Amino acid sequence: MERRPRTDFGALATILLVVGALYLGRALLVPLALALFVTFLLAPLVDRLERVGLGRLLSVLMVIVILCAVVSGVGWMVTRETTVLAEDLP
């Protein structure tokens, strides 16, 4: 009796289905992954502010304000540097 190599088309189909779903869902999954990353990054700061005596809501609001200030500052600096570079170009 001759043995033929077994090809598991079910596993291949499952892999293709998962990869296809990830590809099609990237418009939703990328921002979700970024939000989770930022959440894990900022959670220790919120916890520390809570331990200082601030409430949960005030701690979260303070961290959001700080994050917005940092992002705005970086955006302003990049815009300023780009403007200076554009003015220096011939």
Q: What is the pLDDT of residues 8-59, one digit of tens each?
A: 777 788 899 999 988 898 899 999 999 999 899 999 999 999 999 989 999 9
Instruction: Mention every residue, 6+ apart, whose C-beta is less than 8 A from residue 74.
Output: none
In a domain, 3, yes or no: no
Distance CA 1, CA 26 (A): 48
Threshold 0.75, pTM exceeds:
no
**Count of domains forming the chain:** 1
Residues 6+ apart with CB under 8 A from 59: 46, 47, 49, 50
Which tokens hold the place of 61? 């609001």
Amino acid 2: pLDDT? 67
In this structure, the dihedral spanned by the alpha carbons of residues 45, 62, 30 and 75, taken in order and rounded to 10 degrees, is -110
Residue range of the domain that includes 82: 9-88
Domain assignment present for 32: yes
